[in-house]
Amino acid sequence: MNDEVNMTAIQTDLIGGVHYIGIGVSNMKSAISFWESCGYNLDTATNMTASLALRLYGLNSNAKVSVLKHQNATSGLIKLIQWEKPSGSGLQMAPLRTHGCRWSVHRTDNIANAYIHGEMLKRAGKKIYIVGPHYNFDLGKPEGIKKPFNQFLSTSGDVLLFQPEAQLVAMTRINFDVSKYGTININSPLRLSEGCHMALVVQGDDLKIFDFYDEIIGFKKYQKIEISYKRGSMASDMFELSEGESFTEVDFDDPESGDKPNQHLPGRLRCFLLKSSAPADNRIIQSQPGNLGYSFYSFKTQNIYDTHQRVEKSNAKKVSNILTDEFGFLSFSFFAPDGFFWVARSATL
């Protein structure tokens, strides 16, 4: 069931959507090279002291930090951190259904090309977890009323290309206009856009833990979708659902994003609540700073002080003081009510 959420516009200090995907890396040069293949390029780099890292990221370790841009994108960007003393190996290609999982989804105009890169890496003996490509034939309208060989067919396709330090998904939309939802870098080998949406997963039954993202941070709540197990469906296959299992997806958008698909903007936060009687594979500690791989998301605010005050008064945990980050921006960090680590950053120096 697709339940669009009609909200009255609220006052928000949020600028854009998810700004950075924070990624711990073991080798900065290799990591930059990988993300260049996805259409990113080095923007700026610096060194971070252990003292600052402890106060902002919770790890007492020096680090090298590189920010990667993607053409003219302002959301879905990459911040790479090479810790001198990393605290753990991270998510390590954790499946989508994992409690604490994070991943990013990037648009492509050639999903077969992205899959081939993953398959050839696998055949070369490298570590990669591939799922798909899988297709959703219900995009736009139900599959049953579509007419093959008679009309244009709208479809979405996804392929997981998870590597030890990159929880990456390539997605495509066929005959379905999402022209503002990421800009594909056609000059990169994988032909990918910036991060269109960044995901997180919690196993449980309390959907209200996600209210923090619109009520406190100021994301625009766009829609809620209920998905139950269905044999052979794209969602069931990608989340490895079993009979009796389901999940709820809640999307939080850039405040400037429109409600129609052709008005959607990159930087969406996509939250999943998995409902299962099976014990949770809890790796939320492995998705925090200090670990390798995806370990935090960030956002920009035009009023860091007001945002800090709201977060302090909320159910967020371990809210840091406002600090000057490694690039000179006023910032603070916290654990959201769902347990995920975030960094808020002032929009200007």
pLDDT digits (tens, 9 = 90+) for 194-241: 999 999 999 999 999 999 999 999 999 999 999 999 888 888 999 999
Q: Could you report the per-residue pLDDT of 318-331, keeping only the tens digit for each?
A: 999 999 999 999 99
* pTM of the predicted structure, to 2 decimals: 0.94
Q: What is the pLDDT of residue 349?
A: 76
- The angle at the Cα of 198, spanning 64 to 180, to the nearest 5 degrees, equals 110
CA 167 to chain centroid, in Å, comes to 9
Looking at 164-291, which runs of residues are DSSP E strands?
A: 166-174, 192-203, 220-228, 246-253, 268-275
- The angle at the Cα of 90, spanning 199 to 117, to the nearest 5 degrees, equals 70
Residues contacting 87, CB < 8 A, separation 6+: 59, 61, 290, 291
- Count: domains in the chain: 1
Weakly modelled stretches of the chain, pLDDT under 70: 1-11
Q: What is the pLDDT of residue 300?
A: 98
Q: What is the CATH number of the domain that holds 149?
A: 3.10.180.10
**Minimal CA–CA distance to 157: which of 206, 222, 112, 203?**
112
Torsion of CA 205, 206, 212, 214, to 10 degrees: 70
d(CA 40, CA 262): 24
Note down the domain range covering 83: 2-346
Q: What is the pLDDT of residue 6?
A: 43
Q: What is the pLDDT of residue 173?
A: 96
